[in-house]
């Protein structure tokens, strides 16, 4: 609750709304005490006095009545009407909602049918019908506005009540022999009350507007009594000759409703937990780069050279260092595996290459990614875009989420082709079919017109691969492409990838948490832990003789055939949270061999044999393994 | 798709019946003797007796409802005693004007609202987003009837860009151009609130969609950002925007009442208000049922549009 208040107070607009509403409400309250002219005294000789004339600050209306006085009395009436309508609607609506939600079953069904029916009715029309039946008048307008808002409350409160009706304390009350009515009053009502109040605060603006609207039409308050709506309605005939008589009440309605809306928005934002964490922001076209210090030069003349890459996530006042200085390189036609648990930074490393890390909250804070000699970090968007999919393509994990659900796969393929190649639609389609064939999709000619949801997981991932191949890229970055698939399909996908690589001379960066997969496909492997590479070397050598204790644990996790999938959970403990990394070895907490020296200082990635590097003070040496 | 449309049409029948029950029950709340209320100043004893016989007003609620429903199904909505003509004729005469006004408004608020929401989301926290958010707040806070009056003052009286009111000039040709000239201000005034509501929703729907994986895929393909936003993201966001368009259509249709009053537009809304003030009950009843039924039909069109947009909906 305190958090809610601070959030509300932090929202400056909501505060403005609160102040505006407070002032108007105060004015309305003290109106009877103010030295105002009688709002209903007719003084025809002095009609249509302009504002600021003697004796009438806001002028007079068509009957010579003092506008200021009428405005304040009208505001008072309008506010009272809106509030009263909101109270009535909230009381009746909530009662209905609680009954429907609490009793459930048939009662719920019947009530909600009716509520849905009413909500499907354009509701100004409903209010008009009610006024038509009861006859024009202040009270009847009030009843009409309250009535048409009842379904809104009924529906919202029912939803909340359904959630509460099955909580333990309600069950406990029922078991203790309390009667339903007592339970509703003592257990349910206190819990839904805040929701009712909030729903009221967000609808009272509408109700003021609606009652004013009915009065404007002449169906609400009747002369001489006037609310803001009927003031406006009466002034309409003199709109052109004496606009001030219209502007005065109209502007007041605007001020009131705007104040309430500002406040209501503030309340809603303060309550929406997604806004609290700042999660509801959209990722930009390319990851933000905020690079300090010197830009590292390429360490190799490989096709792709990542040097000192640092990527972090800034969420509020916390910084998660997802990638903390990674060096990697891939040669033409080479397959590099990056392996690690989830959260190890392997995907973020891969996404950083083409600026695809969601930003906000992602920021690349250091390092360089040289592709074919040019640094991509901080490169202009247009440069990145021209390379994306053209020379560096991605395959993502879950193709059901990563393919557009509402476009046919063919159209998505054709788009991938046409983005970089101004082919005609027909030519692109022919190529798309060829691509589907190249990833061994049967009946490519008909499959091309399927939607992603119509395909199996394996087929969808083949489409994902075909799409990555669309422009004959130099590098494919595959981010756990087989994780969501079952074992046989996984094997098929791997064999497709491995054939394509041989046939086209593709370089592949293959990200996975499964050493078995790495063993089948990759020439070299890099093991990541807590945002850093802990071991790197030729796949076979690493598999046979892991140097880092973490690597050897990972290899132990490879499922044996028929033994089911053993997950990395087999390693006791959890990886460190990347916003609180330890000073020394990040694996120390889970390592059997940890010594005080391990925790003392940052550990460097040291060469440990032919083409191999390890980040460990006490590398494993003896074990020989057969995989 | 035809099957789906038929299915939706059939499912509209209970809704229409529900609407008729609601309207009937509301009208049954009329205090006093219904025949006298309906006839008003024409309530001679013979007239009262005839009406009681025709509408079964001396019977219980249930038979009365079915008599009324039976008449309506045959296209007989009763007779307006104030206008001395059949209700349906009057409603149909007026409905064209309302349809032109509300239809234009609906197109306006859909296009403007969605466009504003998309731009707002794509430029989140930028100046365009802030400007749009502010205008939207103003738009949903201003009563449409007040806005209409201010528009008349500024654009018709001061600047003389548009005629003050009405649908057609008293003298002169009835060309499309003349109609558009008369239509512009009322249609815009009517669209403003709905535009604001749609813009808000479109913004949050877009923000939601832009965070999804398939957007990253589109970007990874090298698709231009403009296309990512207006094709990939908007297409997916439309799935949650379209139902709201349907709801807003109801607001536009019924909100036309205010605008028709302000701009002297000869539509059903003004007819309803006049009828309420004259206590012409059968005319109100017929008009309300007719508009509500139109709205139900429109919602079916919305559902069909939704089904065409989203192949995952079983048709
Ligand atoms: S540095 Fe020490 S704690 Fe870290 S992995 Fe090596 S032996 Fe274990």
| DSSP one-letter code for B153 | I
Say yes or no to pLDDT of A567 above 50: no
**pLDDT score of A268 more than 50:** yes
Q: What is the pLDDT of residues A153-178, one digit of tens each?
A: 998 899 888 888 888 888 888 888 88
The overall average pLDDT reported for chain B is 87
Q: Using alpha carbons, select from A467, A558, A562, A464 the residue that is nearest to residue A513.
A: A558
Chain B residue closest to A255 (CA)? B141
Rounded CA-CA distance B55/B8 in Å is 32
Confidence tier at A243 by pLDDT (50, 70, 90): confident
> In this structure, how many other beta carbons lie within 10 angstroms of the beta carbon of residue A553?
18
CB-based contact, B202 to chain A, within 8 Å: no
Q: Of A180-184, A320-324, A565-569, B82-86, where does mean pLDDT reach its minimum?
A: A565-569
B50 pLDDT higher than 60: yes
Q: What is the pLDDT of residues A530-548, one digit of tens each?
A: 889 999 999 999 988 899 9
Q: CA-to-CA distance for B168 and B157, rounded, in angstroms?
A: 17
Helices (H), A358-486: 381-387, 399-402, 409-420, 425-438, 444-447, 457-469
A216 touches B: beta carbon within 8 Å: yes
The mean pLDDT value of chain A amounts to 85
Cβ-proximal residues to B197 (8 Å cutoff; 6+ apart), any chain: B113, B140, B244, B248, B251
Cβ of A117 and B277 within 8 Å? no
A125/B292 Cβ within 8 A? yes
> How many Å lie between the alpha carbon of A486 and the closest alpha carbon of chain B?
21
Mean pLDDT of A96-122: 86
Tens of pLDDT, residue by residue over A224-235, are 888 898 899 888
Contacts of B262 in chain A (CB under 8 A): 236
Return the exposure string of A81-91: e unless at least 16 CB atoms fall within 10 Å of the residue's CB, then b: bbebbbebbbe
For the cut 60, the answer to whether the pLDDT of residue A372 exceeds it is yes
Task: Tell me the per-residue pLDDT of A192-230, one tens digit each, with 9 for 90 and over.
Answer: 888 888 888 878 888 899 899 999 998 988 888 888 988
- What is the structure's pLDDT at A280? 67
For the domain covering B104-279, report its CATH number.
1.10.3720.10
Q: Are A396 and A483 in contact (CB under 8 A)?
A: no
- Cβ-nearest to A388 among B140, B219, B309: B219
Unique residue bearing structure tokens 């035809």? B2
From the CA of A601, how far away is ligand 1's center (Å)?
Answer: 11
Instruction: Evaluate whether B261 touches B273 at the Cβ level (below 8 Å).
Output: yes
Strand partners, A311: A323, A364
Most confident of A573-577, A582-586, B32-36: A582-586
Calculate the alpha carbon distances from B224 to A288, A404, A423, B52 in Å. 18, 16, 17, 70
8 A C-beta contact, residue A306 and residue A327: yes
pLDDT at A1 > cutoff 60: no
Average of pLDDT values for B108-113?
95
Choose the weakest-confidence range: A135-144, A516-525, A556-565, B139-148: A556-565
Name, in order, each residue with C-beta under 8 angstroms of A466's C-beta and a sequence gap of 6 or more. A413, A432, A435, A436, A438, A439, A441
| Average pLDDT of span A274-288 | 71
**The listed CATH number (1.10.260.40, 3.40.228.10, 1.10.3720.10, 3.40.50.300) that belongs to domain A326-525:** 3.40.50.300
Say if residue A37's pLDDT is above 80. no
Share of chain A above pLDDT 70, in %: 93
pLDDT in tens, B225-281: 999 999 999 999 999 999 899 889 988 988 899 999 999 999 999 999 988 888 888
- Chain-chain contact of B217 with A403 (C-beta, under 8 angstroms): yes
Average pLDDT over every residue of B277-291: 87
Task: Report phi then psi at A525, rounded to 5.
Answer: -140, 140
* Interval A380-397 mean pLDDT: 92
Both structure tokens of B182: 């008369």
Q: Is the CB of A591 under 6 A from ligand 1?
A: yes
Burial of A446 (0-12, 13-18, 19+ CB in 10 A): exposed
Contact B291 A122 (CB under 8 A): yes
Residue range B110-138: average pLDDT? 91
Share of chain B above pLDDT 90, in %: 34
**Cross-chain residue pair B312–A213, CB shorter than 8 Å:** no
pLDDT of residue A569: 41
Q: Which of A56-70, A425-439, B199-213 has the lowest mean pLDDT?
A: A56-70
User: Which of B82, B276, B305, B313 is the mutation pick for testing A, counting most A CBs within 10 A?
Assistant: B276
Q: What are phi and psi of A374, to 5 degrees?
A: -105, 145
Confidence of residue A23 (pLDDT cuts 50, 70, 90): very high
* Confidence at B103, pLDDT banded by 50, 70, 90: very high
- Which of B19, B146, B207 is opposite residue A250, by nearest beta carbon? B146
Radius of gyration of chain B (CA): 23
**Residues near B304 by beta carbon (within 8 Å), at least 6 away in sequence:** B1, B4, B5, B8
Across A522-531, average pLDDT: 92
Residue B222: list chain A partners with CB under 8 A: 385-390, 416, 419-420
- Is the separation of the CB atoms in A525 and A542 below 8 Å? yes
**Contact between chains at A125 and B22 (C-beta distance less than 8 A):** no
Is A594's C-beta closer than 6 angstroms to any atom of ligand 1?
A: yes
**Beta strands A475-479; A507-512: pairing state:** parallel
DSSP element (H, E) containing A324: strand A318-330
Enumerate helices (H) and strands (E) in chain A, giving the number of each. 24, 13
A68 CA to centre of ligand 1 in angstroms: 81
pLDDT of B99 over the 50 cut: yes
pLDDT value for A562: 42
Domain-by-domain residue ranges, chain A?
Answer: 2-34+57-271, 326-525, 531-614
Q: Give B15's contacts in chain A (Cβ within 8 Å).
A: 117, 120
Q: At what angle do helices A409-420 and A425-438 cross, to 10 degrees?
A: 110
Query: What is the SS3 assignment for B103?
Result: helix
Ligand 1 centre distance from Cα of residue A549 (Å)? 7
Q: Quick one: average pLDDT of A428-456?
A: 91
Task: Determine the pLDDT at residue B315.
Answer: 59
Pairing of strands A362-371, A304-315: antiparallel
Least CB–CB distance from B251: residue in A122, A218, A239: A122
Q: Tens of pLDDT along B3-33?
A: 888 888 888 888 888 888 888 888 888 877 7
Name the residue at shortest CA distance from atom 1 of ligand 1: A616
Which residue carries 């890229």 as its tokens?
A: A473
Compute the distance between CA of residue A217 and CA of residue A235 in angstroms, rounded to an integer.
Answer: 12
Q: Which atom of ligand 1 is nearest to the CA of A619?
A: 6
Quickly count: other Cβ atoms within 10 Å of residue A33's Cβ: 7
Question: Would you state the pLDDT for residue A558?
Answer: 66
* Best residue in B20, B214, B249, B285 for a mutation probing chain A (most A CBs within 10 Å): B214
- Which helix (DSSP H) or strand (DSSP E) does residue A312 occupy? strand A304-315
Name chain B contacts of A398, Cβ cutoff 8 Å.
Answer: 213
Q: Give the separation between CA A489 and CA A482, rounded to whole angstroms.
A: 8
A618-621 CB contacts, 8 Å cutoff, 24+ apart: A618/A593, A619/A547, A619/A548, A620/A546, A620/A547, A620/A548, A620/A549, A620/A552, A621/A545, A621/A547
Q: Which residues of A100-114 are buried (b: 16+ CB within 10 A; e: fewer)?
A: bbbeeeeebeebbeb
Residue A354 near residue A379 (C-beta atoms within 8 A): no
Q: Which residues of A touch B217 (CB under 8 A)?
A: 394, 396, 402-404, 467
Burial class (CB in 10 A: 0-12, 13-18, 19+), A607: exposed
Exposure letters B42-73 (e unless 16+ CB within 10 A, then b):
ebeeeebeebeeebbbeeeeeebbeebeeebe
ipTM of the complex: 0.88
- pLDDT for B109: 95
Mean pLDDT over residues B32-55, rounded?
A: 77
Query: What pLDDT digit, counting tens, does each position of A295-309 carry?
Result: 888 777 889 999 999
CATH top-level class of A2-34+57-271: mainly alpha
Q: Where are the domains of chain B?
A: 104-279
The answer, yes or no, to whether residue A623 has pLDDT greater than 60, is: no
Chain A partners within 8 Å of B23 (Cβ): 129
Q: Is the beta carbon of A603 within 6 A of some atom in ligand 1?
A: yes
Burial class (CB in 10 A: 0-12, 13-18, 19+), A62: middle
Query: A476 has which bridge partners?
Result: A393, A508
A571 confidence band (pLDDT: 50, 70, 90):
low
Whole-angstrom distance between the N-terminal and C-terminal Cα of chain B?
6
* Cα–Cα distance, A360 to A365 (Å, whole number): 13
Using CB atoms within 10 Å of the CB of residue A75, give its burial: 0 to 12 exposed, 13 to 18 middle, 19+ buried: buried
For residue A147, pLDDT over 80 is answered with yes
């Amino acid at each position: 609750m305190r958090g809610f208040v601070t959030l509300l107070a932090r929202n400056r607009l909501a505060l403005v709304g609160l102040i505006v509403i407070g002032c108007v409400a105060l004015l309305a309250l003290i109106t009877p005490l103010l030295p105002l002219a009688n709002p209903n005294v007719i003084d025809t000789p002095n009609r249509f006095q302009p504002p600021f004339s003697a004796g009438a600050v806001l002028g007079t209306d068509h009957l010579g009545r003092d506008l200021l006085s009428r405005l304040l009395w009208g505001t008072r009436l309008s506010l009272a009407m809106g509030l009263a309508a909101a109270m009535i609607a909230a009381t009746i609506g909530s009662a209905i909602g609680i009954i429907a939600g609490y009793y459930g079953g048939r009662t719920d069904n019947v009530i909600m049918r009716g509520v849905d029916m009413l909500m499907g009715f354009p509701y100004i029309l409903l209010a008009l019908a009610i006024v038509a039946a009861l006859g024009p008048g202040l009270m009847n307008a009030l009843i009409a506005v309250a009535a048409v808002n009842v379904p809104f409350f009924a529906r919202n409160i029912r939803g909340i009540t359904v959630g509460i009706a099955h909580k333990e304390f309600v069950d406990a009350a029922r078991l203790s022999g309390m009667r339903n009515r007592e339970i509703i009053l003592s257990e349910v009502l206190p819990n839904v009350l805040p929701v009712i109040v909030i729903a009221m605060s967000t609808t009272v603006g509408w109700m003021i507007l609606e009652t004013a609207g009915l009065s404007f039409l002449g169906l609400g308050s009747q002369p001489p009594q006037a609310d803001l709506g009927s003031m406006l309605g009466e002034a309409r005939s003199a709109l052109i000759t004496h606009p001030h008589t219209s502007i005065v009440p109209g502007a007041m309605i605007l001020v009131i409703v705007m104040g309430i809306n500002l406040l209501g928005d503030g309340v809603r934002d303060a309550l929406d937990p997604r806004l609290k964490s700042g999660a509801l922001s959209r990722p930009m076209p390319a990851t933000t780069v905020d690079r300090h210090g010197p830009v590292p030069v390429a360490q190799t003349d490989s096709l792709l050279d990542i040097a000192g890459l640092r990527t972090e996530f800034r969420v509020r006042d916390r910084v998660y260092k997802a990638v903390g200085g990674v060096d990697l390189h891939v040669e033409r036609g080479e397959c590099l595996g990056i392996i690690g648990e989830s959260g190890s930074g392997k995907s973020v490393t891969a996404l950083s290459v083409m600026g695809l890390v969601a930003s906000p909250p992602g920021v690349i804070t250091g390092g360089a990614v040289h592709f074919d000699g040019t640094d991509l970090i901080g490169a202009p968007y247009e440069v990145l875009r021209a390379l994306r999919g053209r020379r560096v393509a991605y395959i993502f994990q879950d193709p059901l989420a990563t393919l557009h659900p509402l476009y046919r796969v063919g159209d998505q393929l054709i788009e991938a082709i046409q983005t970089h190649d101004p082919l005609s639609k027909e030519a692109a389609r022919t190529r798309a079919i060829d691509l589907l064939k190249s990833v061994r999709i049967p009946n490519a000619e008909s499959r091309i017109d399927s939607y992603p949801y119509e395909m199996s997981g394996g087929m969808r991932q083949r489409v994902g691969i075909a799409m990555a191949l669309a422009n004959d890229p130099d590098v494919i970055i595959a981010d756990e492409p087989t994780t969501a698939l079952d074992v046989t399909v996984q094997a098929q996908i791997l064999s497709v990838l491995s054939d394509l690589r041989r046939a086209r001379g593709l370089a592949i960066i293959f990200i996975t948490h499964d050493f078995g997969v790495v063993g089948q496909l990759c020439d070299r492997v890099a093991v990541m832990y807590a945002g850093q590479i802990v071991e790197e070397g030729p796949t076979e050598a690493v598999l046979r003789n892991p140097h880092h204790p973490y690597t050897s644990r990972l290899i132990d996790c490879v499922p044996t055939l028929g033994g089911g999938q053993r997950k990395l959970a087999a390693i006791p403990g959890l990886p460190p949270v990347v916003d609180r990394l330890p000073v020394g070895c990040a694996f120390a907490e889970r390592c059997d061999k940890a010594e005080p020296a391990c925790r003392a200082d940052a550990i460097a990635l040291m060469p440990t044999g032919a083409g191999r590097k390890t980040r460990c003070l006490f590398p494993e040496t003896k074990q020989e393994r057969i995989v | 798709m035809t099957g789906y449309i038929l299915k939706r049409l059939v499912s509209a029948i209970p809704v229409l019946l529900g609407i008729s029950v609601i309207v009937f029950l509301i009208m049954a709340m009329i205090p006093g003797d219904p025949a006298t209320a309906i006839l008003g100043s024409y309530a001679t004893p013979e007239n009262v007796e005839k009406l009681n016989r025709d509408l079964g007003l001396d019977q219980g609620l249930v038979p009365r409802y079915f008599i009324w429903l039976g008449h309506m199904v045959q296209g007989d909505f009763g007779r307006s005693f104030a206008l001395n003509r059949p209700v349906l004729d009057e409603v149909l005469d007026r409905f064209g004007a309302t349809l032109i006004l509300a239809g234009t408004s609906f197109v306006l608020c859909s296009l403007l609202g969605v466009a504003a929401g998309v731009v707002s989301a794509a430029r989140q926290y930028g100046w365009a987003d802030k400007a749009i958010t502010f205008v939207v707040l103003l738009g949903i806070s201003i009563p449409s009837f007040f806005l209409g009056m201010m528009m008349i003052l500024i654009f018709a009286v001061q600047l003389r860009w548009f005629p003050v009111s009405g649908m057609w000039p008293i003298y002169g040709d009835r060309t499309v151009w003349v109609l558009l000239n008369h239509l512009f201000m009322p249609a815009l005034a009517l669209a403003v609130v709905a535009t604001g509501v749609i813009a808000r929703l479109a913004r949050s729907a877009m923000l939601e969609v832009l965070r999804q994986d398939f957007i990253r895929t589109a970007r990874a393909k090298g698709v231009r950002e403009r296309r990512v936003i207006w094709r990939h993201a908007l297409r997916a966001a439309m799935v949650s925007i379209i139902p709201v368009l349907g709801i807003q259509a109801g607001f536009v249709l019924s909100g036309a009442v205010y605008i028709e009053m302000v701009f002297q537009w000869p539509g059903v809304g003004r007819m309803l208000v006049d009828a309420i003030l004259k206590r012409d009950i059968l005319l109100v009843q017929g008009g309300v049922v007719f508009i509500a039924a139109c709205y139900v039909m429109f919602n079916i069109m919305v559902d069909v549009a939704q089904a065409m947009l989203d192949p995952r909906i079983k048709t």
